């Protein structure tokens, strides 16, 4: 316990000297096959968006090729990408989702 606490304290001190942690955008990409309703469901389920926000982002992806679902610390962004891809594969849709550094 004592060791863990010390390690945690050192990591915390290092991070504050280096500034805030990097943040990552989770981005949905367009394709010709995934149904629009399914994309709206994904945005509601994994990004806690209401129907209006989810519809707006889905249409942006459909019309412009990509759209940002949210911006998160690295581990959370990576988990969201995995969850979206697993859910899409379960339903046999080719939906693509990536993360990229938020500059
Ligand atoms: N282009 C798809 C269609 O016409 C809809 C779609 C929207 C697919 C967003 C993927 O990330 C996406 N059914």
| CATH number for the domain whose boundaries are 20-101 | 3.30.1390.10
Written as tens digits, the pLDDT of the chain (103 aa) is 333 444 445 555 667 788 888 999 999 999 999 999 999 999 999 999 999 999 999 999 999 999 999 999 999 999 999 999 999 999 999 999 999 999 8
Which ranges of 1-103 would DSSP assign to H, the alpha helix? Answer: 2-18, 36-47, 51-64, 74-90
Atom of ligand 1 nearest to the CA of 35: 13
Determine the pLDDT at residue 10.
55
Per domain, the residue ranges of the chain are 20-101
Beta carbons within 8 Å of 48's beta carbon, 6+ residues apart:
none
Determine the pLDDT at residue 14.
65
Residue 19 CA to residue 22 CA, distance in Å, equals 9
Cβ < 6 A, ligand 1 pocket:
28-32, 34-36, 39, 58, 61-62, 95
Asked if this assembly's ipTM is beyond 0.90, the reply is yes
Determine the pLDDT at residue 11.
55
């Amino acid at each position: 316990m004592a060791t863990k606490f010390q390690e945690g304290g050192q990591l915390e001190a290092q991070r504050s000297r280096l500034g805030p942690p990097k943040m990552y955008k989770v981005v949905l990409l367009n394709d010709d096959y995934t149904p629009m309703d399914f994309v709206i469901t994904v945005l509601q389920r994994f990004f806690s968006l209401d129907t209006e926000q989810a519809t707006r982002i889905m249409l942006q992806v459909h019309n412009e090729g990509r759209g940002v679902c949210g911006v998160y610390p690295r581990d959370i962004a990576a988990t969201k990408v995995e969850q979206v891809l697993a859910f899409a594969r379960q339903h046999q849709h080719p939906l693509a989702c990536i993360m990229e550094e938020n500059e």
